[in-house]
Amino acid sequence: MKVLAIDDSRTIRDMVKLALSREGIEIELAEDGHHGLEVLETLDPRPDAILTDVNMPRLDGFGFINKVRENPIYAGIPILVLTTESAKAMKQRARAAGATGWIVKPFDPARLVGALRTVTGL
Amino acid sequence: MSDPMDTIRAGFFEECGELMEVLEAGLLALQDGTSDADTIASIFRAVHSVKGGAGAFDMASLVAFAHDFETLLDGVRSGTVAQSPALVATLLRAADRLSDLIELSRDGREPTDDFDELAAHLRDLETASPPVGDFTPVALDFGLDPDPEPEPAEQAAAASDAPQDMLTWQIAFRPHSELFSSGNEPLFLFRALAVLGRIAVSIDDSALPNLANLDPDLASLAWRITLIPSANDLTETEIEAIFEFAEDLCDITLECAMAPASVAPAWPDAQLPTTTAPPAAAPPPPASPAKPVPPAGSVTPPPAAKTIRVDLDRVDRLVNLVGELVISQSMLARSISLAGHDGQSDIMDGLDGLQQLTRDIQDSVMSIRAQPVKSLFQRMTRIVREAAQATGKEVRLEVVGEGTEIDKTVVERLADPLTHMIRNAIDHGLESPAERLAAGKPQTGIVRLSAAQQSDRVVIEVTDDGRGIDRGRVLARAVARGLVEPDTRLETHEIDRLLFRPGFSTNDEVSQLSGRGVGLDVVQKAIRDLNGVVSIASEDGIGCSMSASLPLTLAILDGMVVTAANQRMVIPLSAIVETQTLASAKIRNLGPGRNVAALQGVFVPMVDLAQGMGFPPTQNTRDDDRAILFLRPGEAAAYALQVDAIDSQGQVVIKGLADAFGRVPCVSAATILGDGQVALIVDPTSLAEAAGLARAPRPATHLEIVA
């Protein structure tokens, strides 16, 4: 499995990387939505899933998901939103943007991996 | 191998430092009224990121405070909390508190003081807007690997051993069209269900229109799943968890029934993967991954800063190696010149090229360690704020040249002396608002913090527009402390230098702020340890300026190689004002061992380098070679240094001695010369002190030249 993870916090990127690489999941990292789109273009084959933070400079997580969903090539990639909010409103906004699901930070590594496995079937 | 979590933890605190800089800078822009929506968003994100990381490490008090802070900032961002000077002041206080909590968390300590009041205040300010959301810190245990999920086959085997009466779940699942456009996939959900036990899936295609009427974007299929869990205590929640992301995107019902084993459905084992045919509304199948196409409508964004993080040890190793390269290169140059090659030969051309290249490499390597003083200066805003509060003075900080770069170590070690200089400026330099108004000055005092590169040095300056140094009081105190003889006539700059004498304190009562029993001598020592010099200038009623001149790097020094007592030594070029041959110098004798030499019309005391360094006197040097170096080590009065000969001038690589020898008087470090010999690098300031020059200035220094 290959996952693109986008978060402007180095700490979170490091933790996601640790959690996924321990499970043998290949991981690519990006620092904000724009960067995420750049990295996404370079990935061949495309990632099996994308994890993205919400609050980021330049292009936030929802904006990023919109861009990804606009492109038929990437429209089907499962995208999980990494968020500190667990309120219903956040889920609705994530949903509206086209997210597949969400992981609430601080995340439990096992749950993160489990959710990724569920949405990718891998 | 170290625990990766420790590395991430260390990385988190490093990141916190960067986030706090963003936060401070943003809040200051808010204060100056130069903020925009992006600024506020960046402030919010900084606090948000601190909270996010802290939550992962279970730093409860940090998370709790960051949460209140973030909630208030969210209100500011969305406009439900009105901006005002009072709000900005509160935010600045909160930033200070956040910074403290980060430090406490790093040391694994809990706050001992009670700042609930500040947190409550933040919450009160925020009341207008709804809470951001629940946030419960969860301690993570990466050390414990979760059990690998059992293979479905094993699960099935387990199920066959299940008791006669089996608990079965009936799941009716009808996805909406949006389920597919959100990237969810029923097949994958079924696979996840299969992990919980044995499943049988049947498709309901009754709603599927005929092909002519089929709209591929609409979902028309439904499924019924029978699940016999491998564990009898499977809860509804566990099943719901699998459909968590499908919530609101499908109609789903869960029914639990006790079914005798005999009634269990027959298991067409091959059914699972095949019967879940791609749903009618599935998104377009993933295109062949051959050639990724840029996402539609994506504009090429400005490239993200391309940086890598490198362990400092590696950079230092490189710096060291470049030092060795410089030495090898100069040794090679020496061998070639000893071999009799003249300036026109190919080998000399090659050597010139090598020399140029070496210097370029050296500059490039040094620039890796260079860091803008911005982060250091930003930290000072807090010092100013706190000092202003503690003294009841109104202060505005002006910052100039924060992009100036200097060696990382210098930046780090400047924090303490700079803090002291700023506190001193506010505590002793600036007047109270009332005094300022009485003196016809604006009520708010200005402290200006500036950095500028001047050739191979960086000058950091703290200037205030306060009352200036009260020299009468300084002198009186110095006399009272026995630092100078009564009735000594001192130049103003000599009086100012008294401030740097150990144990000097201008305030009769120890000041709460900059007092604490330490004087500016501490600043001087810290700056000197960085091969820097401190100087001070003051004008009555106008203000005072204290500056530290620091080398760009701690690895290379421009110096003059001289000989004394058959020893070669290096004098830092930055301290040399002028050189003269001994024969041409105007020298007067004021008694045994007390010579003075004329520098630009003024006599300055003379020191013999060999004698000053404690070498036995020698007389085997030709008089013609003898020379005098006039030194002004910035912070001390000028003096003349007599040497046996001047050998050469150039860059030398600094090799620290402190690790092996501790502090050696008059010596700052050592170097290896082109011929492979070791030479000591002289510290002109401490040499002057050792020679007794920095003690009470002597009348001799004021003799006007008569001849």
Q: Which of B2, B7, B8 to substitute to test the interface with A, most A CBs within 10 Å?
A: B8
DSSP label at residue B427: I
Which of A58, A67, A118 has the CB atom closest to B298's CB atom?
A67
pLDDT at A35: 93
Q: Which residues of B584-607 are buried (b: 16+ CB within 10 A; e: fewer)?
A: ebeebeeeeeebbbbbeeebbbbb
Say what the pLDDT of residue B4 is. 78
Contact A85 B12 (CB under 8 A): no
Helix (H) / strand (E) element for B549: namely strand B543-551
Q: If we measure between CA atoms, which residue out of B387, B396, B409 comes closest to residue B465?
A: B396
Are B501 and B521 spatial neighbours (Cβ–Cβ below 8 Å)? yes
User: How far does B298 lie from chain A, in Å, by closest CA?
Assistant: 7
User: Which phi and psi angles does B567 have, rounded to 5°?
Assistant: -110, 140
User: Which residues of chain A neighbour B182 with C-beta distances below 8 Å?
Assistant: 95, 98-100
Chain-chain contact of A75 with B45 (C-beta, under 8 angstroms): no
CA B87 to chain A, closest CA, distance in angstroms equals 23
- Residue numbers of B between 15 and 34 with CB closer than 8 Å to A: 15
Q: A26 to chain B nearest CA, in Å?
A: 17
Q: Are B173 and A67 in contact (CB under 8 A)?
A: no
Nearest to A108 among B44, B53, B140 (CB): B140
- The pLDDT value recorded for residue B478 is 84
Determine if the pTM surpasses 0.80: no
The answer to whether residue B56 neighbours chain A at the CB level (below 8 Å) is yes
Q: How many other CB atoms sit within 10 Å of the CB of residue B299?
A: 8
A48 vs B145 pLDDT, higher one: A48
Q: How far is CA B88 from CA A55, B32, B36, B213, B703, in A?
A: 22, 10, 14, 62, 58
Do the chains contact at B304 and A38, CB–CB below 8 Å?
yes
A12 and B53 within 8 Å at the Cβ level: the answer is: yes
Tell me the C-alpha distance between B260 and B673, whole Å. Answer: 94
A31 touches chain B (CB under 8 A): yes
Residue A101 to residue B245, Cβ atoms within 8 A: yes
What are the backbone angles phi and psi of residue B355, rounded to the nearest 5°?
A: -65, -45
- Which pLDDT score is estimated for B113? 67
* pLDDT score recorded for residue B619: 65
Which chain B residue has the Cα nearest residue A13? B8
Q: Between chains, do A109 and B44 touch, taking CB under 8 Å as contact?
A: no
**Quick check: A109 and B140 CB within 8 A?**
yes
Interface test with B, best of A11, A42, A51, A105 (most B CBs within 10 A): A11
Give the nearest partner residue to A84 out of B12, B48, B244, using CB atoms. B48
DSSP assignment of B152-215: HHHHHHHHHTS-SEEEEEEEEEEE-HHHHHTT--HHHHHHHHHTTEEEEEEEE-TTPPPGGG--
Q: Per-block average pLDDT, block size 10, for chain B (707 residues)?
A: 76 88 88 83 89 85 88 85 83 89 85 71 67 43 42 44 62 85 82 82 81 79 84 78 81 74 45 42 44 44 62 84 84 82 77 86 84 87 87 90 87 89 90 91 92 85 92 86 80 82 60 54 83 86 90 80 90 86 82 81 87 78 78 74 87 80 84 85 85 52 38
Q: List Cβ neighbours of A102 (8 Å cut-off, separation of 6 or more).
A: A80, A81, A82, A83, A90, A91, A94, B245
Cβ B322 vs Cβ B365: under 8 Å: yes
What is the distance, to the nearest Å, from the Cα of residue B442 to the centroid of all Cα atoms in its chain?
35
Mean pLDDT of A22-42: 91
DSSP B130: -
Instruction: For residue A77, count CB atoms less than 10 angstroms from its CB and return exposed for 0-12, middle for 13-18, buried for 19 or more.
Output: buried
Q: How far is A107 from chain B (nearest CA, A)?
A: 7
Return d(Cα B411, Cα B4) in angstroms, integer. 29
Q: Residues, chain A, total? A: 122
The CA distance from B30 to B164, in Å, is 71
With H, G, I as helix, E, B as strand and everything else as coil, classify residue B274: helix
- A40, A73, A99 member nearest B182 (Cβ): A99
The burial class, CB within 10 Å (0-12 / 13-18 / 19+), for B208 is: middle
Do residue B45 and residue A68 have CB atoms under 8 angstroms apart?
Answer: no
B-facing residues of A in 40-99 (CB < 8 A) are: 40-46, 55-59, 67-79, 84-87, 89-91, 95, 98-99
Contact call for residues B78 and B55 (beta carbons, < 8 A): no
B294 vs chain A: nearest CA distance in angstroms? Answer: 5
B57, B245, B308, best to mutate vs chain A, most A CBs in 10 Å = B245
Touching check for B591 and chain A: CB below 8 Å? no
pLDDT (average), residues A6-22: 89
Kindly report the nearest CA distance between residue B180 and chain A, in angstroms: 8
> Residue B564 in 3-state DSSP?
strand
- Residues of B with CB below 8 A from A11's CB? 8, 11-12, 15, 49, 52-53, 56
Residue A119: its chain B contacts at CB < 8 A?
Answer: 183-185, 188, 245
Of B134, B191, B296, the CB nearest to A86: B134
pLDDT above 90 as % of chain A: 35
Query: How far A61 CA sits from the closest chain B CA (Å)?
Result: 13
- Verify whether the Cβ–Cβ distance B133 to A70 is below 8 Å: no
In the predicted model, what is the mean pLDDT of residues A71-84? 87
